Structure 1
Amino acid sequence: MPFKVEVVPHNLQWRDAFEAESQQVAEAMGENMVAIHHIGSTAIPNIYAKPIIDLLVEVKDISRVDEQSAAMESLGYEVMGEYGIPGRRFFLKNSQAGIRTHHIHTFEIGSAQVKRHLAFRDYMIAHPDDAQQYSNLKRKLAEMYPDDIEGYMDGKDDFIKTIDQKAAEWCVFSQ
């Protein structure tokens, strides 16, 4: 089934959706869980986003996440394993209608991936002009690639790498 690429204006309910989901995920992850963060475009105010809530879960021991697979499945998540990123456990969730609603990116505490995702989010919140450029790019790509998630993702790649670099430098200077 093709993945429909849709970006929509920022929705204030995304924060509430994150909060509600993070409570359930925290219970499912148990004592191994350290923190849950709202990441991705739904965490950045005033920009267009795919209406999918991205959660970043930090855990003490990444290998123990596999023990929680049944608990995550009971919440409606599909267990995807590393899914292309070593050291990650990825979960995805669809609505009853089969529309993607949530992604969970799980990493061990201290992972460079945790730092990268949080730096990107925090940089974009602190730099609304860059966030608007990203929003405009996403809207343009969604129009160009309405049924091609790979084309959409590839179109964002250079911009994301540029922001990742800016965010890494900004984090060093802002601390």
Structure 2
Amino acid sequence: MVNKTKEVRIVPYDPAWKIAFESMRAELERHIGDLVLAIEHVGSTSVEGLGAKPILDIDVVMDSYEVFPAIVERLGKAGFRHEGNLGVEGREAFKRTYEDGFMAYHLYVCPKDGRGYLEHIAFRDYLRAHPAARERYQRLKEDLAAEFRYDRDTYCERKTGFVRGILNKTLYKD
């Protein structure tokens, strides 16, 4: 289903994103810190200098699915609803059931060896280390946002080739 209701808006990098993530990490650590290995800031807002949709992407990393029921229970008590994997194996989405005062974010719980998590980290780290790739990605996102302003699905689909190219250089290299 095409999501044409939300505008794709790329804004310049904002150092406040890092601060917002740290606040969200502290909130999550209060509830599940003893159950998880890490809480990672991923996605474009995690790459200094890269413009992005102003939405944090957060990967909570667990050792295995053995701890997942306890994570679901605790996050539920903290006001998060488990939404399933939303079609991506190895990544469980959660959404706050009330307005919590944090900037917009996507929250995922992933196993440490999960494809979604490993791809997020590989892509993030490559863009952090390669300014020319970061600039190319910035231009691509701006061009796609202008062309598909009200079609978030197509905007995302059209970035796939670039992302796959980076992952083939890093995570999936021979």
TM-score in same-fold range (> 0.5) = yes
Match of 1:60 in 2: 63
Cα-to-partner distance string for 1:54-99 (whole Å, 9 max, x where unaligned): 1111112335334434543565544211111122211245985xxx
Aligned equivalent of 1:40: 43
Match of 2:92 among 83, 89, 101: 89
Confirm or deny: 8 A CA contact 2:88 2:116 kept in the other structure.
no
Question: In percent, how many aligned pairs have the same letter?
Answer: 28
Out of 18, 22, 28, the residue aligned to residue 21 of structure 2 is 18
Separation of aligned partners in 1, 2:60 and 2:167: 20
Distance in 2, Cα, partners of 1:25 & 1:44: 21
Indicate if the aligned counterparts of 1:93 and 1:102 stay in contact, CA closer than 8 A: no
Question: Once superposed, what is the RMSD of the aligned Cα atoms?
Answer: 2.6
| SS of corresponding position for 1:133 | helix
Instruction: Name the count of aligned residue pairs.
Output: 170
Distance 1:76 1:4 in 2: 27
1:167 match: 170
Unpaired runs of 5+ in structure 2?
none
Looking at structure 2, the residues matched to 19 and 86 of structure 1 have their Cα atoms a distance apart, in angstroms, of 27
Determine which of 113, 135, 140 is the counterpart of 1:137.
140
Q: How do 1:59-78 residues align onto structure 2 when only pairs under 5 Å count?
A: 59-62=62-65, 64-69=67-72, 71-73=74-76, 77-78=80-81
Q: Residue 141 and residue 73 in structure 1: after superposition, are their counterparts in 2 closer, same or farther (change >3 A)? A: farther
TM-score by length of 1: 0.84
Residue type at the aligned position of 1:58: V
Structure 1, unaligned stretches of length 5 or more?
A: none
Q: Which amino acid aligns with 2:118?
A: K
Structure 1, 83-92 or 48-57: larger mean CA deviation: 83-92
